[in-house]
Amino acid sequence: MDHLESGKQQEMHFPMMENAEYQRAQKQEIKIGKEQGLDVSVYANPEFNWLQMEQIRMGLKDNVNAAVYANPKYSYETMRQVRLGLYSATDLMPYVKRGFIEEDLEEIRLALLNRLPLDQWIKDDMCAPQIREIRIGLCEELDISPYADSRYNWMQMQEIRLGLEKKLDVSVYTNYLYSHAQMREIRLGMEAGLDVSIYDSLVFSATDMKEKRQEIINKKRSSGHTEEKPVKENESANKSFLESHRKNEFVISIEENGNKAYAYIPWVPGNMVTKEDIYHDLERREIVYGIKHDAIADLIDKKRLNEKILIAEGIPAQRGEDGWFEFFVRLDLPRIPAPLPDGSVDYVNIEAFEMVDEGEKLAVYHRAQKGISGKNIYGESIHGENGTEKKPLRGVGFTVADDGVTYISKMNGKFEYTAGRITITNVLVVRENVTAVTGKLEVDGSVYVVGSISSGGYIKASGDIIIEQNVETAKLIAGGNIMIKQGSCSKNDCFIEAGGEVSGSFFEAVNISAGGNVKANYIMNSNINTMGKVVVSGSKGVLLGGTIRAVRGVDTYNLGNRLHIKTILDVGRNELYDRRQMEYERDRDKLLKELEGLEKQRDKVLALCAAGKEVPEEIQRKIYAAIEVEGQRLADLDGESSKLANLTDQVMTEPVYVRGRAYEGSLIIINAIKYMLPAEVKRVIFKLKNKHFLMLSF
């Protein structure tokens, strides 16, 4: 924050500053989230480092429930694994709560992705390499019970698994007191067909076992000599020597639900895997489709060791394309004004709406396509799901042609498309200035004025009002939005009332009441009451003079000026908020009375029926339907009231945002708590903390 003016620094008192909380990288993640339209309140917490913020933001962007892992105590790698799991509807949070860390979670996620029965085998004290051995064994469809025990380290588990793959009696060496090296010597002996009982004892070290195994091999080799055929004896001896040193270690893993098979040959001294070994194992596993013979040949001939090679691949099933709408009307109309070089926005050149003519084709629906079946590496057919059909478009002002897929406008008017709903409404185009002489304009629809409004002009519309030029003395009432492209200037005798948003280049001495946001490049000496937010853009933008009541807060470049013109900001749970909640309460009381009357009628009907008297079914049906409708209205009303309360709670994270300068004398009220700014400050956020004002620099 800038220093205070000279001479005032010692005598002025400011709230606590928290500069260190918002580092550059953290602010960048919050900024990106806002630009992407995300609810950054989930991670706009200085306790998160920027890497954690990034993982939460990525989850929010991809529409997964990032809130489940938005906890500062989780590392960003843990968050990453949980996020990746959510993409495939895999919930890793139970494992996080059990104490598994990021490397463990990756192995768990891969196992669950392949629908392996992992939970019955893993224990809380297992680490990632142990879980990996269990996962590989399950993929190989082995009976992993001999080694799925946390008393074994992962290398012991691996030796037992390799024995199981070779169909050995691993019980000979599953004593967990054996080291992995001892297990290895016993396994190699069993693979070579040796009598390992000579050395499978804990009294022998791994080195002793290796020596004894070699002695047995040498004895077998020497016992094969004969006198009659020395040449063949030598050949036999050589063969025995090679066979005794030959190893045959490889792994074939099945992935993607049986759609791919990979071969992995580790580098081990004497390891000599052949094509026949690979094909034999494929046959054993009944893998018959999509075998890549060239890949197998390349694997063996070029000795591609320690490398995972795809050796069989099925044809994945293809889901049919979902149904979709092709629109012939612009949906990407730039309703947000373009930014200008100074940071302000261009309200003059914005296109407020799209016009359509009667009989104009609006959209065509393309039906969903059927899925295409595939085949896995076992030769089994995989069903391809059909695409999903979309619901028909809803709305007013259009009709559907006989083909059932073509949407056509029924009238000339303004086209709007929101959340699967088309709305075409009447638009009155006024091609002259509106004055007192023009008379009152009251329209069931929208009004588009090509000129200006001055000298007592009056417009009331159920839809939007768009003014191409400016507004002076006038009264504008709209059920929707009001846009004044070149702004409004009066002597406090201009009144603007909108159910939605009010926007314009500027507002000077104007009275505005809005259900949505109020936006401009500067606002001076105006009285504004909005259930939304007041936004003033641009490096020259200023919010100066008057009283601004905004439930959702204020975002301005400059606040007040050096002349100390009184500027009042009243945000959050203010008079407007209280009034709206009182309206909800009145409406609720009214609905309760109506519901009580209906329930009394229902009770009378039930009493008559119990007395054996007939009550027409139609009357009973109407009463029950009315009770259901009123009950739904009551629930909706409670939902709106709760939503408003929750909204103001969210707003309080950054209720007043000043991007430039905030001048002395500005009065800021947040949730009825007042603070008069004693001196000029720069680039600050005003908020409450424990019912005390706080300023954060940014």
Instruction: Kindly report, residue by residue over 387-422, the tens digit of the pLDDT.
Output: 999 999 999 999 999 999 999 999 888 888 887 899
- Residue 397 domain-assigned (yes or no): yes
Length of the chain measured in residues: 698
Strand ranges in 323-455 using DSSP code E only, listed in sequence order:
324-327, 338-339, 345-346, 354-356, 361-366, 374-375, 381-382, 394-396, 398-400, 406-409, 413-418, 421-425, 427-430, 440-443, 446-449
- Residue 556 domain-assigned (yes or no): no
Spatial distance between the Cα atoms of 496 and 515, rounded to a whole number of angstroms: 12
Which pLDDT value is given to residue 348? Answer: 64
Which pLDDT value is given to residue 533? Answer: 93
- How many percent of the chain have pLDDT more than 90? 41
Q: Do 158 and 29 lie in a common domain?
A: yes
Spatial distance between the Cα atoms of 450 and 470, rounded to a whole number of angstroms: 10
Q: Do 294 and 400 lie in a common domain?
A: no
Q: Do 334 and 285 lie in a common domain?
A: no
Three-state DSSP class for residue 248: coil
User: Mean of the pLDDT values across residues 1-17?
Assistant: 34
User: Among 218, 242, 264, where does a domain finish?
Assistant: 218
Q: Do 352 and 308 lie in a common domain?
A: no
User: Among 393, 423, 453, where does a domain finish?
Assistant: 423
User: Among 313, 332, 361, where does a domain finish?
Assistant: 313
Which pLDDT value is given to residue 25? Answer: 75
C-alpha separations of 366 from 1, 372, 385, 390, 449 in Å: 57, 18, 17, 9, 38
Three-state DSSP class for residue 141: coil
Whether residue 333 is predicted with pLDDT greater than 70 in this model: the reply is: no
- Residue 69 domain-assigned (yes or no): yes
- DSSP of 95-138: HHHTT--HHHHHHHHHHHHTT---TTT--TT--HHHHHHHHHHH
- Its pTM stands at 0.49
Which pLDDT value is given to residue 255? Answer: 81
pLDDT mean across residues, the chain = 85
The DSSP H or E segment spanning 164 is helix 154-165
User: Mean of the pLDDT values across residues 540-555?
Assistant: 92
Residue-range definition of the domain harbouring residue 360: 324-423
Query: What would the pLDDT profile of 140-171 be if each residue is shown by its tens digit?
Result: 889 999 999 999 999 999 999 999 988 999 99
Query: What would the pLDDT profile of 650-659 be if each residue is shown by its tens digit?
Result: 666 779 999 9
Q: Do 74 and 183 lie in a common domain?
A: yes
Residue with tokens 């080291």: 179
Pairing of strands 681-689, 692-697: antiparallel
Spatial distance between the Cα atoms of 502 and 518, rounded to a whole number of angstroms: 5
Q: Do 296 and 329 lie in a common domain?
A: no
Query: What would the pLDDT profile of 621-633 be if each residue is shown by its tens digit?
Result: 888 888 888 888 8
- Residue 417 domain-assigned (yes or no): yes
| Number of structural domains found in the chain | 4
User: What is the CA 1 to chain-centroid distance, rounded?
Assistant: 35
Whether residue 124 is predicted with pLDDT greater than 50 in this model: the reply is: yes
Which pLDDT value is given to residue 608? Answer: 87
- Residue 262 domain-assigned (yes or no): yes
Which pLDDT value is given to residue 6? Answer: 35
Nearest to 521 by CA among 541, 543, 502, 539: 541
Q: Do 354 and 283 lie in a common domain?
A: no
Paired tokens of 674: 């007042």
| Lowest-pLDDT choice from 116-120, 303-307, 500-504 | 303-307
Nearest to 490 by CA among 473, 503, 475: 473
Q: Do 105 and 187 lie in a common domain?
A: yes
Band of residue 452 on the pLDDT scale cut at 50, 70, 90 = very high
Query: What would the pLDDT profile of 216-235 be if each residue is shown by its tens digit?
Result: 888 877 765 433 334 343 44
Nearest to 353 by CA among 440, 457, 406, 428: 428
Q: Do 309 and 343 lie in a common domain?
A: no
Q: Do 279 and 172 lie in a common domain?
A: no
Paired tokens of 411: 């009238």
Q: Do 299 and 397 lie in a common domain?
A: no
- Residue 607 domain-assigned (yes or no): yes
C-alpha separations of 530 from 141, 487, 593, 640 in Å: 65, 18, 31, 17
- Residue 695 domain-assigned (yes or no): no
Q: Do 51 and 132 lie in a common domain?
A: yes
Query: What would the pLDDT profile of 346-369 be if each residue is shown by its tens digit?
Result: 666 666 678 899 999 999 999 999
**Burial class of residue 431 in the structure, from the number of CB atoms within 10 Å of its CB (0-12 exposed, 13-18 middle, 19+ buried):** exposed
- Residue 2 domain-assigned (yes or no): no
Q: What distance, in Å, lies between the first and last C-alpha atoms of the chain?
A: 8
